[in-house]
Amino acid sequence: MTTWNPRMRALATGLAIAIAAFAASSAGAEENKEEKPTEQPPPEVVEPVASPVVATDAALRASFKEYVGLRKSEEKAVYLTFAKGANLDAAANLAREVWVKTAGEGRDLPHFEFVPAAANAEELKGAFEMLRDVLTLKDVVFLDLDEACGCISIGVATKEPSPEIASFIKQRGVNSRWVKTVVTPVVRQTQMLTSRIRPTMGGLQIRNWTSICTLGLPTYSWRMQAYGILTASHCTEGPLGGSQPTDIAQGLFLFDNIAHETLDRPLFNNAADANCPVGRMCRYSDAAFANYNHPTFGITGRVTRPASVCVAAGPACSVSVTRNTDDIRMLWGISGLFVGINVDKVGRTSGWTRGPITRTCTDFNVSGTDAMGAIFDTGVTMLCQTEAAATSMPGDSGGPVFEFHPTVGGGSFAGILWGGAFDSTTFVFSPIDGIQRDLGTFVYNQEGVSGTWYSNGQFYTSNVDDELSVIIERNVVPADQVEFVLQAGTQVFDRKEIVLVENPAAGTGRWTIAVDRNRRSDANGLYLYQLPGGLLEFRKLLNGSMSEVSRVPIDNISGGTRLTFQWGSD
């Protein structure tokens, strides 16, 4: 083992490299190097362990018929919505008990507050179904069974709601006290990261002969048994819905094709699905899948990582990328998110933006603009969509939406962005549930991710020819240290490196471990305090010079751990 650097000192314990790229298998390197991703389908999407919010919601829903729903606030409060008649003391006790059990002792317990609902859950569900066709009225933007307020919300595009809405509510026999109207911008599809980058990742510009959009996520379709991309359906050629099939290019030039459309469900009407308002055409997702023209054109489950993220709704964020290898790795797919939870998106026009969810499972009417800039109703309604208060702009359509986990630099894939308000202050996306209902199931996590933050298995760089196996050994070095080992596979002879970069608050240290034709193994380590904010930079000899092919954060590796990487192929 290489001598430890005397400057190394010490970090916080926790979990995990977001080398969000490790396989469930613990097979040795010699076995793993034969398993090419083009020969073996990646594992199915792994669902994360239930969060305290999800567990609390499920427990209250199972125990109290008066329970309607909940929402999270930025102030670490959780608002529980109940109809009359509930034992609120018992509900609060159950919420606290489930939260502590799920989150673990020592975690901050939120302040629970109660919101009175206009009616109980069953009554609101029935009222929502009775009001479905309010979406056919002029200036109606959305219909939402709003669990946060315990009421039915109707979004309207005018300051003074049309008398037709009140008349419609009365005609359908719904108690008007259960319904509120909300002035809101109309929602448009947002067509318009622009560099050519290979392999492709989510968030990059894509285009065809009719539109410029954003690549959602490189993925694997079980229905098509093929690698490809998810993006917005309206980003393909021809009318929304139904496979054309469209050739999709990435970067600036139309002839630089990477994929062709293969899955795109046609629109349906009320006769096909009673959830669709009478007289309108519907889908559960504005999403389409396109097969890669070659499996190596993308890396499953990765999103390009812009240089910065913005949280103020409205202004665009930078679309610059520090390095082509910078990425956000999807650890799994996630559904059932709640109002108040922050979600992120990456789009080719407004970059990486973040904001809280404001509506869930809401039916949105889709508007467009004509050649003169006039707004018109497309006649299409997207069912059970999610809205967030964060920037989106024309060209961001098709972009990935995810819940970001900053301590590991990874994310949970939540859906595909397709629209937003004309003032750019919101975006609307199709969640995973709707995408799978329309198009079948997909792999959302990076190939090799087992669902844990890290484990033995395979690690993939941004160069698709690379494969590294990783072995995790715990409690094998002093508890205040972490060791990194690099080994050369039997077919590797050109130089390979891992640069250990310490926490910037601790210093500017960079230590390189390397292998080549003569040196087959190398090792070094860091003290725990050097890890938060630190990185591993993976480098290899390409075209005569050392080039970085991946980097991952190392914030929360447990003390006493040894990570052994074997670079199995060039």
Residue ending a domain, among 414, 443, 472, is: 443
CATH at residue 69: 3.30.70
User: 558: pLDDT confidence band, cut at 50, 70 and 90?
Assistant: confident
Residue 47 covered by a domain: no
**Residue indicated by tokens 């018109």:** 376
Do 374 and 514 share a domain, yes or no? no
Supply the CATH number for residue 387's domain. 2.40.10.10
pLDDT above 50 (res 35): no
3-state helix, strand, coil in the chain (%, to 5): 15, 40, 50
Contact assessment for residue 295 and residue 258, using Cβ atoms and an 8 Å cutoff: no
Confidence of residue 193 (pLDDT cuts 50, 70, 90): low
Question: Cα separation of 438 and 13, whole Å?
Answer: 43
pLDDT digits (tens, 9 = 90+) for 398-425: 999 999 988 777 888 999 999 999 899 9
DSSP-based three-state secondary structure for 546:
strand
Predicted local distance difference test score (pLDDT) of residue 190: 67
pLDDT tens digit sequence for 200-230: 999 999 998 888 999 999 998 888 988 899 9
Identify the pLDDT of residue 465: 65
Residue 388 has which token pair? Answer: 């967030």
Average pLDDT over residues 31-47: 37
Whether residues 298 and 196 fall in one domain: yes
Residue 63 and residue 195 share a domain: no
Per-residue model confidence (pLDDT) at position 33: 34
Residues 169 and 262 placed together within one structural domain of the fold: no
Confidence of residue 238 (pLDDT cuts 50, 70, 90): confident
Using pLDDT thresholds of 50, 70 and 90, give the confidence band for residue 191.
Answer: low
pLDDT bin (cut points 50, 70, 90) of residue 8 is very low
Q: Write the DSSP assignment of 352-381 as a string of letters.
A: EEEEEEEEEEEEEEEEEE-TTS-EEEEEEE
- Determine the residue type at 140: V
Same domain (yes/no): 512, 550:
yes
pLDDT at residue 23, as a whole number:
22
- Is 16 among the domain residues? no
Give the chain's domain count: 4
303 falls in which pLDDT band (50, 70, 90)?
very high
**Tokens linked to 564:** 């052994």
Do residues 436 and 516 share a domain?
no
In a domain? residue 20: no
Of 187, 204, 132, whose CA–CA distance to 428 is shortest?
187
Does position 22 have pLDDT exceeding 70, yes or no?
no
User: Is residue 428 located within the same domain as residue 550?
Assistant: no
Q: What is the pLDDT of residue 272?
A: 97
Q: With 80 as the cut, is the pLDDT of residue 475 above it?
A: yes
Maximum average pLDDT range among 326-330, 350-354, 491-495, 565-569: 350-354
Q: Which residue has the tokens 């009719």?
A: 210
Residues 351 and 469 in one domain: no
20-34, 237-251, 547-561: lowest mean pLDDT where? 20-34
So what's the pLDDT on residue 550? 74
Task: Judge whether 247 lies within some domain.
Answer: yes
- For the cut 90, the answer to whether the pLDDT of residue 525 exceeds it is yes
| Other CB atoms within 10 Å distance of the CB of residue 36 | 11
Question: How confident is the model over 49-72, as pLDDT tens digits?
Answer: 457 888 899 999 999 999 999 998
Domain end marker among 66, 92, 116: 116
Phi, psi of 558 (to 5 degrees): -70, 145
pLDDT at 261 over 70: yes
What is the residue-wise DSSP string for 41-73? PPPPPPPPPPPHHHHHHHHHHHH-TTEEEEEE-
Q: What's the confidence (pLDDT) of residue 450?
A: 31
If you ran DSSP here, which 8-state letter would residue 109 be given?
Answer: P
In the predicted structure, residue 310 carries a pLDDT above the cut 90: yes
On whether residue 12 sits in a domain, the answer given is: no
Q: Is 268 left (phi over 0), alpha (psi -120 to 50) or beta?
A: beta
Tell me how far apart the alpha carbons of residues 535 and 510 are, in angstroms, rounded to a whole number.
10
* CATH code of 180's domain: 3.30.300.50
Task: State whether 341 and 281 are in the same domain.
Answer: yes
Element containing residue 170 per DSSP (H, E): helix 163-171
**pTM for the full predicted model:** 0.73
Which one has a higher pLDDT value, 539 or 500?
Answer: 500
H or E segment and range at residue 169? helix 163-171
pLDDT at 329: 87
Instruction: Identify the domain boundary among 116, 145, 164.
Output: 116
| Domain presence at residue 430 | yes
What range defines the domain where residue 381 resides? 188-443
Specify whether 284 is located in the same domain as 344: yes
Per-residue confidence (pLDDT) for residue 552, from 0 to 100: 75
Query: If you average pLDDT over every residue of the chain, what do you get?
Result: 83
Rounded Cα–Cα distance for residues 36 and 332 (Å): 21
Bigger pLDDT: 333 vs 400: 400
Q: CB-based contacts of 87: which residues, under 8 Å, 6+ apart? A: 64
Under the banding of pLDDT at 50, 70 and 90, the label for residue 36 is: very low
Inside any domain, residue 9? no
Assess whether 538 and 504 both reside in one domain.
Answer: yes
Helix and strand tally (H, E) in the chain? 6, 35
Q: What integer is the mean pLDDT of 321-336? A: 84
- Tell me, yes or no, whether 5 lies in a domain: no
pLDDT confidence band for 456 (50 / 70 / 90): low
Q: Are residues 460 and 385 in the same domain?
A: no
CB 85 within 8 A of CB 66: yes
* Cis-peptide, bond into residue 199, ω within 30° of zero: yes
Choice between 243 and 41, residue whose per-residue pLDDT is larger: 243
- Listing DSSP states for 176-211 in one string gives GGGEEEEE---EEE-----S--SSEEET-EEE-SS-
Closest CA to 471 of 25, 40, 33: 25
User: Over the range 187-201, which residues count as b (16 or more CB within 10 Å of their CB) and which as e?
Assistant: bbbbbbbeeebbbbb
Confidence of residue 510 (pLDDT cuts 50, 70, 90): very high
What is the pLDDT, as a whole number, of residue 145? Answer: 94
Residue 107: pLDDT band with limits 50, 70, 90: low
